[in-house]
């Protein structure tokens, strides 16, 4: 079986590419060229009925929602409700990151219960099951890790965060710089560093990278090069250890792409606002334009309880400067395992952030915002709610505090600026010529 990138290089426009083109409103040939160049990836497992989602250059910034059990909370029903909530709220992809309970079962049930492309971090299962069996995750057999990768792919996983960029060189940078303010925050990354130190061996995922790519190609899955040494505090952003791993991941992305494997690179968790643009520029330049999967990012460390808002600020800036896939953050980040409500809030905040970034990234795609403004100006509430990203929430708020004059709202009541503006410029508004041309709403105000 040929991968999407291999077919694209042979001038084949696949069904998945057609679906992406239709969803994005972009010519199919543009999608094919982007896939062939490795600037667009499509996580779409050939053996599973799911939505084809394009991630990369020129496309809408996508949102990922992560779910999964922990060693403290194992409830498959809860995870299925979280997966459903993420899909209902408009997430584009889902990561199943369980570490507690029957890991094969929860993954298989999540795959059966949603139509989103699903990703995993195979190191989680490999180390979790080794810890249960031997009471020491460092006793992981490298062959068992590759067995887990293929088992998950065979189940229908469409993309995987695999920590190939952690090697002896990057660990030495961490040691020589004197550790960190935020320590190590990636579960998979920390386990792999511990395993390498325990055995005094190289990371088998780096050492046998061709084997990783061969498995991903077998199932046409997207290899997401995991950010296992990402910064967990803004004071660690772009330290030598993080940059060493980033350089290696970008290099591996190019190598994997050359082997016919769809690849993308994962980015930092905590990074101050003024460094986001530079971070994305570095990834794009060093990887040859590979799609960038950004975790958050969080531009402050002090917002626990509202980290979905902290991350939304970082996400909007990331999308603005070229990030392609944003992993959501929920209000529970740094505090607890997210519940269903946390998932909904996280997806909504991140979707809005991605939309804000796309408005800046693609100035020619602002028609929706213009139509919302016109409906608000004209107090056309039905049109207004129909255009919003979250109409149910907006309706709920309005109906809970309805004004006497239904044209207005209770924010201004009798002093409604919109209503007064209509009275002052009634002739101009009546003379507005609104027409549809080429699918774009154009407004020409009448001359006084």
Residue 441 has what pLDDT? 41
Is 208 buried (19+), middle (13-18) or exposed (0-12) by CB count in 10 A?
middle
Residue in the block written with tokens 């960190």 = 180
Q: What is the mean pLDDT of residues 121-131?
A: 97
**For the chain, what is the mean pLDDT?**
93
Stated as kind and residue range, the H or E segment containing 294 is: strand 292-295
* Domain residue spans of the chain: 4-363, 366-444
DSSP state of 386: H
Residue 422 has what pLDDT? 72
Residue 317 has what pLDDT? 98
Higher pLDDT, 116 or 425: 116
Asked if the model's pLDDT at residue 436 lies above 80, the reply is: no
Higher pLDDT, 55 or 448: 55
- How sure is the predictor about 448, in pLDDT bands with cuts at 50, 70 and 90? very low
Q: What is the mean pLDDT of residues 30-41?
A: 98
**Helix, strand or coil, per DSSP, at residue 375:** helix
Q: Which of 90, 52, 26 is nearest to 220 (CA)?
A: 52
- How sure is the predictor about 426, in pLDDT bands with cuts at 50, 70 and 90? low
Distance of CA 134 to the CA centre of its chain: 34
Asked if the model's pLDDT at residue 433 lies above 50, the reply is: no
- How far apart CA 292 and CA 110 sit, in angstroms, is 25
Could you check whether the bond before residue 297 is cis, i.e. omega within 30 degrees of 0? yes
Q: What angle, 0 to 180 degrees and rounded to 10, lies between the N-to-C axes of helices 122-134 and 187-199?
A: 60
- pLDDT tens figures, 91-104: 999 999 999 999 99
- Which structure tokens are listed for 375? 């409906």
Residue 408 has what pLDDT? 87
Rg (CA), the chain: 24
Residue 415 has what pLDDT? 86
Torsion sign over Cα 132, 138, 142, 145: positive
Asked if the model's pLDDT at residue 443 lies above 60, the reply is: no
How far is the CA of 75 from the CAs of 69, 72, 127, 354, in angstroms? 7, 10, 20, 30
- How far apart CA 106 and CA 63 sit, in angstroms, is 22
Please report which residue ranges of 177-333 form alpha helices under DSSP H.
187-199, 204-207, 209-218, 240-258, 276-287, 307-321
Asked if the model's pLDDT at residue 56 lies above 50, the reply is: yes
- Which structure tokens are listed for 172? 């030495």
- How far apart CA 94 and CA 263 sit, in angstroms, is 17
Could you check whether the bond before residue 103 is cis, i.e. omega within 30 degrees of 0? no
- How sure is the predictor about 179, in pLDDT bands with cuts at 50, 70 and 90? confident
Stated as kind and residue range, the H or E segment containing 66 is: strand 62-67
- pLDDT tens figures, 251-306: 999 999 999 999 999 998 999 999 999 999 999 999 999 999 999 899 999 999 99
Give this prediction's pTM.
Answer: 0.93
Residue 418 has what pLDDT? 82
Residue 432 has what pLDDT? 55
Residue 419 has what pLDDT? 78
- How sure is the predictor about 309, in pLDDT bands with cuts at 50, 70 and 90? very high
Asked if the model's pLDDT at residue 124 lies above 90, the reply is: yes
CB atoms within 10 A of CB 267: 28
Stated as kind and residue range, the H or E segment containing 175 is: helix 168-176
Residue in the block written with tokens 């899909």 = 87
Q: Which of 17, 409, 304 is nearest to 7 (CA)?
A: 17
* Domain 4-363 belongs in CATH node 3.40.50.2000: no
Counting every residue, how long is the chain?
448
Asked if the model's pLDDT at residue 66 lies above 90, the reply is: yes
Asked if the model's pLDDT at residue 27 lies above 60, the reply is: yes
Q: What is the mean pLDDT of residues 217-227?
A: 97
How far is the CA of 404 from the CAs of 146, 412, 418, 423, in angstroms? 66, 12, 16, 19
- pLDDT tens figures, 356-387: 999 999 999 899 999 999 999 888 999 999 99
**Helix, strand or coil, per DSSP, at residue 230:** coil
Phi, psi of 400 (to 5 degrees): -75, -15
Asked if the model's pLDDT at residue 335 lies above 80, the reply is: yes
Q: What angle, 0 to 180 degrees and rounded to 10, lies between the N-to-C axes of helices 276-287 and 307-321?
A: 50
Residue 340 has what pLDDT? 97
Residue 428 has what pLDDT? 60
């Amino acid at each position: 079986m040929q991968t999407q990138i291999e077919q694209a290089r042979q001038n084949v426009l696949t069904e998945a590419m057609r679906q992406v083109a239709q969803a994005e409103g972009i010519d199919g040939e543009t999608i094919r060229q982007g896939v062939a160049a490795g600037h667009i990836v499509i996580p779409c497992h050939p053996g599973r009925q799911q939505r084809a989602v394009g991630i990369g250059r020129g496309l809408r910034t996508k949102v990922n929602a992560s779910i999964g059990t922990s060693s403290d909370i194992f409830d498959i029903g809860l995870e299925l409700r979280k997966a459903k909530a993420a899909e209902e709220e408009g997430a584009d992809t889902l990561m199943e990151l369980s570490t507690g309970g029957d890991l094969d079962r929860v993954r298989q049930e999540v795959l059966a219960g949603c139509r989103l492309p699903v990703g995993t971090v195979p190191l989680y299962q490999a180390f979790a099951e080794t810890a249960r069996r031997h009471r020491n995750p460092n006793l992981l057999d490298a062959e068992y890790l590759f067995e887990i990768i293929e088992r998950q792919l065979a189940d229908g996983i469409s993309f995987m965060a695999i920590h190939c960029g952690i090697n002896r060189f990057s660990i030495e940078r961490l040691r020589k710089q004197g550790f960190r303010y935020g320590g190590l925050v990636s579960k998979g990354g920390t386990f792999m560093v511990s395993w390498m130190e325990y055995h005094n061996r190289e990371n088998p995922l780096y050492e046998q990278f061709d084997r990783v790519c061969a498995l991903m190609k077998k199932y046409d899955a997207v290899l997401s090069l995991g950010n296992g040494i990402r910064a967990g505090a803004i004071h660690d952003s772009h330290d030598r250890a993080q940059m060493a791993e980033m350089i290696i991941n970008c290099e591996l992305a190019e190598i994997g792409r050359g082997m016919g494997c769809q690849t993308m690179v994962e980015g930092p968790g905590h990074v101050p606002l003024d460094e986001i643009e530079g971070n994305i520029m570095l990834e794009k330049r060093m990887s040859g334009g590979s799609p960038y999967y950004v975790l958050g990012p969080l531009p402050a460390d002090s917002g626990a309880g509202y980290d979905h808002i902290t991350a939304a600020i970082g996400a909007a800036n990331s999308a603005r400067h070229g990030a392609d896939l944003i992993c959501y953050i929920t209000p529970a980040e740094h505090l607890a395992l997210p519940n269903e409500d946390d998932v909904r809030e996280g997806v909504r905040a991140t979707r809005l952030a991605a939309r804000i970034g796309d408005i800046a990234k693609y100035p020619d795609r602002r028609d929706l915002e213009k139509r919302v403004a016109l409906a608000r100006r004209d107090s056309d509430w039905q049109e207004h709610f129909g255009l919003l990203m979250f109409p149910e929430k907006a309706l709920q708020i309005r109906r809970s505090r309805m004004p006497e004059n239904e044209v207005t709202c209770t924010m201004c009541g009798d002093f409604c600026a919109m209503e007064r503006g209509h009275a002052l410029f009634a002739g101009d508004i009546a003379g507005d010529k609104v027409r549809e041309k080429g699918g774009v709403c154009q407004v020409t105000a009448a001359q006084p």
